[in-house]
């Protein structure tokens, strides 16, 4: 079932495109790229909706969701709430994701959310993290470790460069020196009645000294076949798998613990 551009125009004005093409791109082009990976069943997405809108001239959220549902059984997206560090409050239903319009809208469609108060994962479909340690974000027993174990397909679409939260897991996995563990105390609300006190383990490092070199990482991962890149009239799409990226980066990080940052 392909996307109907005339549907869901009630939130059309929410997205302001960065640029416009005179003629909308054919959505079949996006379907063809995604379809090659539909055997994976599960996809984790990082999304920039304004660039999608500028290329297809349709409501970008509904367009992308329709495409993903056509080819995957489970769709995952970040539901990050960094404000927990200050507020100490995380509600699985009402704490809105704080990065990106796609995640805010996807919260309404998702039927599952992890208990991680800082780096929760939203899921539409049957994929679950039941046996994971939700309150130790990037540990080898955590939710992000499961993505690595299952070698989950990750797609960046509408972003200016290759990006993945798995970098934080990789940094924990190889114990890089600039990545320090930090604990945050607060309360999780599972619903309107059930709640509990928690301690969320995450990371802390000086961003002024540890900036990702995305161009270097993209170039290297493409050169070893761990990253696939597409371009639809300027709309960038990156496809890669969680464990494949970690294994590709392993020799670089073992040689230089600061390889992931400038």
**What's the rounded Cα separation, in Å, for the pair 247 and 47?**
24
pLDDT at 181: 86
223: tokens are: 């050169």
**What's the rounded Cα separation, in Å, for the pair 140 and 4?**
42
Tens-digit pLDDT profile for residues 183-236: 999 999 999 999 999 999 998 777 666 788 889 999 999 999 999 999 999 999
Sign of the dihedral through C-alpha 135, 136, 138, 140: negative
pLDDT at 209: 66
pLDDT at 21: 62
Give 211-220 contacts, CB < 8 A, sequence gap 24+. 211/261, 211/262, 212/167, 212/260, 212/261, 212/262, 213/260, 213/261, 213/262, 214/161, 214/162, 214/163, 215/161, 217/162, 217/249, 217/260, 218/161, 218/162, 220/248, 220/249, 220/252
pLDDT at 67: 97
pLDDT at 190: 96
From the number of C-beta atoms within 10 Å of its C-beta (0-12, 13-18, 19+), residue 105 rates as: buried
What is the arithmetic mean of pLDDT over 116-130?
A: 98
pLDDT at 211: 82
**What's the rounded Cα separation, in Å, for the pair 261 and 143?**
23
219: tokens are: 């170039």
Tens-digit pLDDT profile for residues 2-59: 334 443 333 333 344 454 567 889 999 999 999 999 899 999 999 999 999 999 999 9
Tens-digit pLDDT profile for residues 157-183: 999 999 999 999 999 999 999 888 899
pLDDT at 208: 65
pLDDT at 223: 98
Question: What letter would DSSP give residue 182?
Answer: E
pLDDT exceeds 50 at position 135: yes
Angle, CA of 213, 43 and 169, to the nearest 5°: 45
Mark out the alpha helices in 72-165 (DSSP H runs): 84-87, 101-109, 143-149
Tens-digit pLDDT profile for residues 46-104: 999 999 999 999 999 999 999 999 999 999 999 999 999 999 999 999 999 999 999 99
């Amino acid at each position: 079932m392909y996307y109907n551009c005339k549907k869901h125009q009630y939130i059309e004005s929410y997205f302001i495109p960065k640029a416009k093409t005179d003629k909308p791109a054919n959505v079949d082009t996006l379907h063809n790229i995604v379809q090659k990976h539909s055997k994976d069943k599960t996809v984790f997405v990082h999304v920039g909706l304004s660039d999608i809108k500028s290329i297809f001239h349709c409501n970008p959220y509904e367009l992308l969701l329709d495409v993903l549902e056509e080819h995957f059984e489970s769709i995952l997206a970040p539901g990050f709430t960094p404000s927990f560090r200050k507020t100490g409050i995380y509600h699985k239903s009402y704490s809105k994701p704080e990065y990106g319009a796609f995640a805010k809208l996807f919260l309404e469609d998702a039927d599952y959310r992890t208990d991680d108060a800082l780096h929760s994962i939203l899921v539409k479909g049957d994929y679950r993290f039941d046996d994971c340690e939700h309150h130790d974000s990037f540990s080898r027993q955590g939710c992000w470790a499961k993505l690595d174990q299952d070698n989950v397909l990750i797609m960046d679409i509408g972003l200016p460069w290759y990006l993945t939260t798995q970098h934080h897991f990789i940094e924990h996995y190889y114990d890089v020196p600039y990545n320090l563990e930090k604990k945050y105390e607060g309360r999780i609300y599972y619903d309107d009645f059930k709640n509990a006190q928690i301690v969320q383990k995450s990371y802390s490092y000086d961003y002024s000294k540890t900036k990702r070199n995305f161009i270097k990482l993209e170039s290297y991962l493409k050169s070893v076949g761990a990253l696939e890149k597409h371009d639809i009239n300027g709309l960038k799409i990156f496809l890669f798998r969680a464990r494949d990226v970690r294994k590709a980066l392993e020799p670089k990080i073992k040689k230089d613990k600061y390889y992931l940052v400038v």
